Structure 1
């Protein structure tokens, strides 16, 4: 038992020594490496400071060259620097937009105050007219009407007072807002005259005085003519002061809108340079998706169509801006020029290629036409793509969209793409050419046109037949005009009673004497078949392909005429009937009647 316990203690002690021997070096190594790892982590988390942002108006070409040697980490710093500049500019633009909206509310309240004063003046005038009418035409109810008119005038004055008060409050609210006031102060930076025009505090103070004056008058019931005149003069003065305030506010709003045009121009310039940085960063493996989304989110112009004056100033300002209308006009001009230039170039190159194809006799007409069309349309498409690039539109997403759509189109138009592939096979292997007489898919005629989708054939009946290239390439094609020499084969029947050598000699004389029959290869004429009702002589002669039908028809006519002259019979198909004696003697049988010629042949053997 004691030995067992000693052994157990020894094993436990040894295990502790092994664990200690392993743990201490590892812990020491971790302690040794810890400062280095911490330094690396600290170094990686430190983003280099942006260098290219020192001049926000740096030309884009210079910025591209300046960014070339930068590493990914350095470009991350540049991206954040340009992001900060762009964010600041967007903040200024947003503050200006807020200022315009608040100025619109000020103008609205001020114009409402002017309208209220005008209504009050009309009410006082109506009260005066009522009073004068009662004075000339007294009546028991005249005093009541005069009092009602005075009360209406007083209500109108109180309403005007309230409108003026709201206009003043709105102006004070705008002045107290640091964001809007900062945008306004930035907008009116310039000459002292412009600053004086933009100041509206003095006008608002006058409006406040008028408000107090209207409040004093409106507490009285207007019954005296002198008091009425004072009230009308006060209203006119208030209206004049408020109209001056409207003009001043409108001028400030105009200055802010013009400043917004400048800010948009600066924002666009910063966005362009920021995109150059992002493009370089993306090429070197950086993540730029969030930056691009930010640029897309802050780009563009928002127009408040309810503000007619603001909309007009915004549109005119954008049209006159270097980074707006002028830039787009220049880009559109470039686009039109590039497309027009490539259109002209495609016609010139296509014409030169078409004239040069005669140097390559192995190229078929339809392949030549295909190459010319492909060249012209290809150059035109290249021109369109370059024109789109001139509009500063990235063709990368466009190509990706075309690629994605191509899969769907390929699936939907499988047969059409099959025609396209077969059209290429026809163009490459040249089984026929334009102008050849062919027979394919049961159609016989002359090829008029071949493209990548279909083949057009003009039949002998002058019918136009359009065959899909699938049907053309998938069937047996017989080309009757591919060779310059064509064999003319005739199977001529003569009677067994005629001499075969005589008939062959006559046919040889016809072939040798005919001007369209070629001597090399020469004609071949011999006995072909001993048929049931005639001897068939095979006539084979060669002629030029273009003379085939002329020679065929002419020789057929000459053979008929010469055979008649030589007494050679061209037999018709016939059949001999043998009637037995028993059938001929049977009373009433058809055979007896036929033998006795009692029944015409047509009735005995109806057709």
Structure 2
């Protein structure tokens, strides 16, 4: 194998070893329990008997990552495993909540879909009933009967859809995990409606009060209701805002939630007192929804008011959609909290990895729970989900900040390396003895490396683990080293050509039976322009592996002229003419001195050679002038230049007749 190819493979192997060494690999001794047939639990694959209760960093689940790094640095490996187990439990609880909320959204979508089918069926029944009640003169009896039958069929379809909606509501009500998940969204939705209703009633009471005289008894009753309702609204809003701004794991969260429930009941009681009738107490939203669906289905069996039924279904669908959208907002917030827990667990795992612990099971779990599945058929929920992600702290805001940081680092590092390349070019130009190709290669390498350095630095600032990326690059380079051996050999040869400079651009070279002027040199190829205008592109591997004759590699170049004269000519006179010719030419160097000598005898002539040195840049002009001066000098001395004479003797055989 050629040396250059061996050198390129050696470079690739060194690169793979270097990149592969940057991603640490830890080995763990096999415990005796692993030899048993019992399937190990999650934590048994990480550490024996972790103690999450002994963790100290989970007291504040929103602790900044930089502070957490400082807290875990002095911990031992055993203590770090306890911290990792505690953060893992928090993460698992959050993932469980996300899964339950997503399931609740799917159940809610089924219920909404069934109610929408029922509303559409009621609308179809309403249109069929209208067609049957107001027949035109041109319509036949069969068409009217067909419209009536269509009405009945639509009502049956509506009843079937209502049964499916009721079944979905019953499933939500009977499933404890679903009911607990949906309950908060239902409460928040009902709170919005209750608060809006209270404010509307308050406006009506104030308008009614303004119509009364202050000394009237009704005025005082209305004023008392207004005062009670205003107090209930203010207390409820204060308790709600306080509960929304508090973390669920805060010590006072339970007390604040209980206070919110009390203010909610007081607001409902104030509304009931203001309108003069009590509200429905003790029933959840889902129970009320089931009762309402049963009432609508019962109405469809008797003489139904289709317009009123469709209006009730439309209002119910709007309420269900609000609850569903609230669930979507909740799951978006939970996903943001999941990201926070992953970041903090990853911080613990990085420290464990530094101290020789095993983190592979944790990493696999994190990879498995990352990402979000989106139901594109749920158009309203999709919009809410995207908007919530865009506005969330760990979603859109985080990505926007990361993009700004990433772009800012690239905008700073890339111009910096461009300026650094320009400064390097100025320095190399002032040094003077740096080859042009090497100077261009170094400057371009510095400028282009700025992009790579900027990308790696930006990824590092964003806390992206560069180990897998560098390992991937190392593996890819190892594969490419074998798949592209010739190309890599060309690159290595091109680098050696640029480094050692056997020729430069503009030099006259003879290479591989090619004689011409070097036009360009890249890492892969060398381009030579022949004297007849040909363009030769030669792979650098072939250039480096063959003999390179650079005719213009030095400041001086020797001119060699050989002339043949007859045997009877005076050689001393020929030498005198040669000597006077070179002495009279202004561009022939005295050092080294020119020399003239008879070269050889041929069959009919004597060869006389002339060797003289001149400036490389003027070689061809001086050579041409010497030829002219020698030719004129020999002609003036009546010395003829011999030329070979060839005499051919042959014969032609006469053609004879074939018959003779």
TM-score normalised according to structure 1 size: 0.79
The aligned length equals: 516
Shift of the 458–146 alpha-carbon distance from structure 1 to 2, 3 Å rule, reads closer
Q: 5 Å matches for 1:531-542? A: 531-542=602-613
Residues 458-467 or 196-205, more deviating? 196-205
- CA apart distance, 1:166: 3.6
TM-score normalised according to structure 2 size: 0.73
CA distance in 2, matches of 1:151, 1:529: 125
- CA apart distance, 1:510: 0.9
Contact 1:210/1:237 (CA < 8 Å) preserved in 2?
no
Which residue number corresponds to residue 368 of structure 2? 297
Indicate whether 1:87 and 2:92 are aligned: yes
CA offsets 1:149-174 (integer angstroms, 9 cap, x no match): 66664554444344334433332332
Contact 1:203/1:241 (CA < 8 Å) preserved in 2?
no
- CA apart distance, 1:301: 1.3
- CA apart distance, 1:293: 1.0
Q: 5 Å matches for 1:71-110? A: 71-110=76-115
CA distance in 2, matches of 1:347, 1:193: 60
Which residue number corresponds to residue 186 of structure 1? 184
CA offsets 1:54-104 (integer angstroms, 9 cap, x no match): 111111111111111111111111111110000111111111111111111
- Within the candidate set 332, 344, 366, 1:273 is matched to 344
CA offsets 1:402-443 (integer angstroms, 9 cap, x no match): 222222211111111222222233233322222211111111
Residues 319-328 or 379-388, more deviating? 379-388
CA distance in 2, matches of 1:81, 1:173: 34
Which residue number corresponds to residue 167 of structure 2? 169
- CA apart distance, 1:503: 1.7
Contact 2:435/2:501 (CA < 8 Å) preserved in 1?
yes
Indicate whether 1:365 and 2:436 are aligned: yes
Q: Which runs of 5+ in 1 are unaligned?
A: 1-42, 218-230, 580-588, 591-607
CA distance in 1, matches of 2:646, 2:322: 118
- Within the candidate set 121, 126, 148, 1:121 is matched to 126
SS in 1 for 2:58: helix
Contact 2:50/2:81 (CA < 8 Å) preserved in 1?
no
SS in 1 for 2:552: coil
CA distance in 2, matches of 1:326, 1:505: 94
CA distance in 2, matches of 1:555, 1:329: 77
**Alignment RMSD, CA only?**
2.9
CA offsets 1:114-148 (integer angstroms, 9 cap, x no match): 22322332333333235x969xx9xxx96x98778
SS in 2 for 1:493: strand
Q: Which runs of 5+ in 2 are unaligned?
A: 1-46, 196-283, 652-660
CA distance in 1, matches of 2:113, 2:190: 27
Which residue number corresponds to residue 616 of structure 2? 545
- Within the candidate set 540, 550, 555, 1:479 is matched to 550
Residues 108-117 or 540-549, more deviating? 108-117
- CA apart distance, 1:199: 4.1
Shift of the 541–158 alpha-carbon distance from structure 1 to 2, 3 Å rule, reads closer
- CA apart distance, 1:299: 0.9
Which residue number corresponds to residue 299 of structure 2? 213
CA offsets 1:526-572 (integer angstroms, 9 cap, x no match): 33334432232221111111111111010001101111111122122
SS in 2 for 1:434: coil
- Within the candidate set 38, 45, 51, 1:47 is matched to 51
CA offsets 1:178-201 (integer angstroms, 9 cap, x no match): 222222233356597327499465
Which residue number corresponds to residue 12 of structure 1? none
SS in 1 for 2:123: helix
Which residue number corresponds to residue 61 of structure 2? 56
Which residue number corresponds to residue 281 of structure 2? none
| More relative contact order, 1 or 2 (CA 8 Å, 6+ apart) | 2
